[in-house]
Amino acid sequence: MLTPTPDNARQQALTVLIASFVAQGHPPEYAQHMATAAIFQADLELRNAQLTHLLSWLKQEHSDIYDEAVAVAESTREEFERRVKA
């Protein structure tokens, strides 16, 4: 039996969601987009929760580097926004 990987889990989730949306009467091409968007949103929420938890932990356990970590996170956001606008 194969050990699930994040990519396998995402693919399985995508397949199940597409089938669910099709069963609800959505055309397959829309169902695929809907499922992809749902998985993408869940992944974004997970990443946000991870970053929030990490920053909270840093603030409590390593307050000496917390401000620098927040600055790095903010710098990353700014760089991303610049690339998106370009």
The model's pLDDT over 34-66, given as tens digits with 9 standing for 90+, comes to 999 999 999 999 999 999 999 999 999 999 999
Residue 18 has pLDDT above 70, yes or no: yes
Q: What is the pTM of this model?
A: 0.72
Report if residue 37 sits inside a domain.
yes
Report if residue 14 sits inside a domain.
yes
Give residue 4's identity as a one-letter amino acid code.
P
The count of structural domains within the chain is 1
Q: Which domain holds residue 17?
A: 7-85
Nearest to residue 56, comparing CAs of 44, 71, 72, 70?
A: 70
Report if residue 59 sits inside a domain.
yes
Report if residue 11 sits inside a domain.
yes
Contact 43, 32 (CB under 8 A): no
Judged on CB neighbours under 10 Å (0-12, 13-18, 19+), 35 is buried
Mean pLDDT score of the chain: 93
Report if residue 2 sits inside a domain.
no
